[in-house]
Amino acid sequence: MVLIVVFFTKKYSQKPEDLVLSPTPTPKTFNPSPSTNSGFPVSTPTTTPTPGLQDPTSIVGRLAPAKCNLTGEIIFIEPNLYESRGAFIEYENIDHEARLITWTVIPGYDFSMGPNIFASLPIPIGKVGLSASLDDILPAQKEYTVKAKVNYGQIVNGDIKLFEAECTGETKIKISF
């Protein structure tokens, strides 16, 4: 791990209240902290509320039921190397980044499939490539079928209830070594 520390020693001729350090449309000024002797301005952290049911712009629980579709195939050339041929999950109406993707492999084998959660994926609609890795024990079959389900929220009687939607389509996993 590399740690880089930068110190600025030039003293500014501006008054601390004239310094604007925020990129927001409404500039905020910062005042020197009474607990420091450096005379440099210290910012006070502010938080932005996370959208939720209280936020009328939130989509949590307010979309139609989720849909998803699997396509393509993953071909393992070696135990640690595969080729993806159009292996995607397409989805829509995912209402929150904490929603999960559950994978089923037929016949049963413990592939590590991904993604497993919608965090860092575009929502409510998107398309993302699939990833897979083999377990320590090599698979016995030469071909597997992958299916998936996604969960999503719906408002029912004023509460958020979680539901699960089965994806259409499938992704094939082939072992060629």
Whether the pLDDT of residue 114 is over 70: the answer is yes
Q: What is the pLDDT of residues 36-85, one digit of tens each?
A: 454 545 444 444 444 444 444 577 878 899 999 999 999 999 999 999 99
- The dihedrals phi and psi of 174, each to the nearest 5 degrees, come to -115, 140
Average pLDDT, the chain: 78
The pLDDT assigned to 113 comes to 94
Whether the pLDDT of residue 1 is over 60: the answer is no
CA distance 32 to 17: 8
Q: What are the residue boundaries of the structural domains of the chain, listed by start?
A: 16-48, 67-175
The pLDDT assigned to 4 comes to 54
CA distance 105 to 173: 9
The pLDDT assigned to 87 comes to 97
CA distance 76 to 86: 14
Is there a cis peptide before residue 139, judged by omega within 30 degrees of 0?
no
CATH no., domain 67-175: 2.60.40
From the list 11, 67, 61, 62, the residue with the least C-alpha distance to 40 is: 11
What is the DSSP track for 6-24? ----PPP-S-GGG-B---S
**Token reading at 163:** 């539901």
In the block, tokens 């880089």 appear at: 4
